[in-house]
């Protein structure tokens, strides 16, 4: 069953590349607007071999990871306080809802003014993109913990921080993981956007470079890389963790 | 020796803005080694009473004394077996059993020794490394009992622990629980709406009156163990309790139809 899905997907992507190449060969679209898959492949191979692509990926990824870790820790702390203290929820919680509606890219000008075009600036955008979604999901996760878990934890002597770390956080994990997933998606958009505008080393920078050089193959190639990383992180990191949690919590077959 | 004393426990509930009296002065003495069953119509507040004994809810007035000392907070000296769904799905069976011991800061080696003993007692050794989703409802309740016993509580509280089980599994556990009680000499308070269960298990059965709840009658059952569900000699106790409860259920129905 799973293998079958994989075959379908491989077949689909091969088909896309073939159709792409055919369209290219017909010259219906000018070459400056649509490169051939081969040209794109060549650019990527060249950048991979001269080290510029791995360097860019490494740069973007470490900023993402640092930003996401900060957002996860911060978001969970905020979310737990929102769930435990009603006043915090009514005040800070309402602010968080508002802040969450700001697209990641909208934080870039502020980051530039505060931090300049630095790693810290990119990380700020990443954190700002992910933090609020994670807070909100943590809040609903804690609110939706079956009361029996809490009662059982207290009954066996857990209270305060012990109750939070030993019962509440693990009990809320199915919600937390979907918050992390959302947070990562916003964070990844934020990293790329900030790198484009800041023009500092990373995948966003390579995109910007392609634009400057009027190199459509470069721009298309990097977009594909950004997408592939997205698919890999989502499919191999988050989906795996999520599936494991859901099955252990008895929430799936 | 008196293990636990409930003194004039009163509890109100807020129901659509009205204050409803749930418990109207519960007085109960539980002697060391007693197996006390609390039986009553559903919604009569018997689980609320158990939660108050556990320290999970606070009474509006009255007090609970454990070994003569008043208690107000939850504590591992009064562990509870919940109706269902109280095992932690993120922990293996063995780690569920050790949860309270870990919270209490007991070293790992000692924890393993204790958990092995109770897993063995509940015939769960094979399942030590399983997760709860891999267990049947009956197995889960065995784990819950092992988890509660592992804390070596002063008193074991059981809130309808067998209500969700099929009848064969329940009959088996009813016998096992009696054997465990005889073996561990634990004091047990067992809440149920099932009269048979109370007759099989209890050496004292407290019949709760409908809201506002009070203890209507205490029935002493001095009969050999292990008692089996099919034992006809238990019928007279069954009917005695049934008679007490019948009027309560009728009163309840009238109350609800108002």
Domain ranges of chain A: 68-248
Query: Is B140 a member of any domain?
Result: yes
- Cα gap B183→B176, rounded to integer Å: 10
pLDDT in tens, B148-167: 999 999 999 999 999 989 99
Cβ distance A248 to B131 less than 8 Å, yes or no, reads yes
Buried b (16+ CB within 10 A) or exposed e, A151-171: bbbbbbbbeeeebbebbbbbb
Q: CB of A13 within 8 Å of any CB in chain B?
A: no
Sort out which chain B residues have CB atoms less than 8 A from A249's CB and list them. 89-90, 133
Q: Do B78 and A170 touch (CB under 8 A)?
A: no
**Cα dihedral sign, B218-B219-B224-B225:** negative
> What does the pLDDT look like over B99-158, one tens digit per residue?
999 999 999 999 999 999 999 999 999 999 999 999 999 999 999 999 999 999 999 999
d(CA A160, CA A168) in angstroms, rounded, equals: 10
Q: Which residue of B has its CA nearest to A162?
A: B103
- The highest-level CATH class for domain A68-248 is mainly alpha
Band (B85; pLDDT cuts 50, 70, 90): confident
| Alpha-carbon dihedral sign for residues B120, B121, B126, B127 | negative
Q: Average pLDDT over chain A, rounded to whole?
A: 92
Whether residue B121 is contained in a domain is answered as: yes
Beta carbons of B90 and A249 less than 8 Å apart: yes
B165 and B228 inside one domain: yes
Q: Is position B166 within any domain?
A: yes
B165/B106 same-domain check = no
Q: For residue B112, tell me if it sits in a domain.
A: yes
The mean pLDDT of A222-226, rounded to a whole number, is 95
Determine the residue of chain B that is closest to A153 in CA distance.
Answer: B100
Query: Given this model, what pLDDT does residue B257 score?
Result: 56
Query: How many separate domains does chain B show?
Result: 2
- Residue B118 sits in the same domain as residue B5: no
Residue A186 — pLDDT band, cuts 50, 70, 90? very high
Tell whether B68 and B160 lie within a shared domain.
yes
| Test the B interface: residue of A146, A154, A155 with most B CBs within 10 Å | A155
The predicted complex's ipTM stands at: 0.90
A159 to chain B, closest Cα gap in Å: 9
**Is A214 within 8 Å of chain B by CB?**
no
Residues B68, B180 within the same domain: yes
B34 and B140 part of one domain: no
Per-residue burial over B99-129, b if 16 or more Cβ lie within 10 Å, else e, is bbbbbeebeeeebeebbbebbebbebeebbe
Q: What's the pTM value of the predicted model, to 2 decimals? A: 0.86
Q: pLDDT tens digits, residue range A69-95? A: 999 999 999 999 999 999 999 999 999
Q: Which of residues 137-176 of A touch B (CB under 8 A)?
A: 146, 148-149, 151-159, 162, 166-167, 170-171, 173
Cβ pair B90:A248 closer than 8 A:
yes
- List chain B residues with CB under 8 Å of A155: 54, 56, 74, 76, 78-80
In whole angstroms, give the CA distance from residue A107 to residue A128.
7
- Assigned domain for B104 exists: yes
Within-domain flag for B252? no
B258 is a domain residue: no
Comparing CA positions, the residue from A12, A54, A18 lying closest to residue A38 is: A18
CA atoms within 13 A on the CB side of B178: 19
User: Cα separation of B165 and B140, whole Å?
Assistant: 10
| Last residue within a domain, chosen from B127, B152, B177 | B152
Same domain for B172 and B146: no
- Its domain, for residue B146, covers 87-152
Pick from A156, A245, A247, A252 the residue to mutate for testing the B interface (most B CBs within 10 Å): A156
Query: Which residue of B lies nearest to A249 if distances are taken between CA atoms?
Result: B89
Rounded Cα distance between B206 and B28, Å, is 9
In the block, which residue shows the tokens 């991979």?
A48
B114 and B177 belong to one structural domain: no
Residue B117 lies in a domain: yes
């Amino acid at each position: 069953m799973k293998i079958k899905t994989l075959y379908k997907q491989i077949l689909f992507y091969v088909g896309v590349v073939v159709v792409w190449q055919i369209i290219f060969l017909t010259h219906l679209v000018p070459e400056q607007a649509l490169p051939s898959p081969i040209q794109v492949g060549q650019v990527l191979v060249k950048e991979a071999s001269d080290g510029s692509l791995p360097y860019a990926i490494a740069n973007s990824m470490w900023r993402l990871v640092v930003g996401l870790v900060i957002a996860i820790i911060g978001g969970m702390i905020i979310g737990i306080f929102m769930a435990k203290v009603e006043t915090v929820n009514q005040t800070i919680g309402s602010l968080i809802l508002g802040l969450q509606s700001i697209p990641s890219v909208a934080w870039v000008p502020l980051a530039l003014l505060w931090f300049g075009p630095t790693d810290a600036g990119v990380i700020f955008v990443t954190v700002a993109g992910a933090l609020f979604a994670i807070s909100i999901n943590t809040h609903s996760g804690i609110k939706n913990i079956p009361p029996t878990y809490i009662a059982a934890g207290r009954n066996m002597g857990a209270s305060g921080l012990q109750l939070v770390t030993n019962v509440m956080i693990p009990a809320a994990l199915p919600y937390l993981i979907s918050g992390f997933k959302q947070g990562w998606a916003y964070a990844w958009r934020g990293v790329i956007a900030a790198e484009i505008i800041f023009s500092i080393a990373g995948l966003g920078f390579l995109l910007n470079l392609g634009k400057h050089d009027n190199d459509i193959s470069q721009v298309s190639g990097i977009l594909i890389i950004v997408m592939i990383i997205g698919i890999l992180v989502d499919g191999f990191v988050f989906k795996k963790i999520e599936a494991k949690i859901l099955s252990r919590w008895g929430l799936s077959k | 020796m008196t293990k636990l004393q409930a003194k004039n426990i009163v509890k109100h509930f807020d129901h659509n803005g009205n204050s409803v009296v749930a418990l109207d002065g519960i007085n109960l003495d539980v002697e060391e080694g007693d197996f006390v069953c609390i039986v009553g119509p559903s919604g009569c507040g018997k689980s609320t009473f158990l939660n108050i004994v556990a320290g999970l809810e606070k009474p509006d007035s009255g007090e609970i004394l454990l070994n003569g000392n008043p208690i107000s907070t939850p504590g591992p000296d009064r562990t509870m077996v919940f109706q269902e769904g109280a095992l932690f799905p993120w922990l293996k069976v063995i780690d569920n059993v050790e949860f309270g011991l870990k919270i209490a800061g007991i070293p790992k080696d000692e924890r393993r020794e204790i958990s092995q003993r109770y897993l063995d007692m509940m015939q769960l050794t094979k399942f030590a490394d399983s997760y709860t989703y891999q267990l049947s409802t009956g197995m889960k309740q065995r784990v819950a009992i092992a988890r509660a016993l592992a804390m070596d509580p002063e008193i074991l509280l059981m809130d309808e622990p067998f209500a969700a089980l099929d009848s064969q599994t329940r009959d088996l556990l009813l016998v096992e629980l009696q054997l465990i009680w005889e073996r561990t000499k634990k004091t047990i308070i067992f809440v149920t709406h099932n009269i048979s269960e109370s007759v099989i298990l209890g050496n004292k059965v407290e019949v709760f009156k409908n809201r506002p709840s009070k203890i209507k009658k205490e029935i002493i059952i001095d009969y050999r163990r292990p008692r089996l569900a099919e034992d006809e000699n238990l019928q007279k106790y069954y009917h005695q309790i049934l008679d007490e409860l019948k009027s309560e259920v009728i009163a309840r129905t009238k109350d609800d139809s108002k």
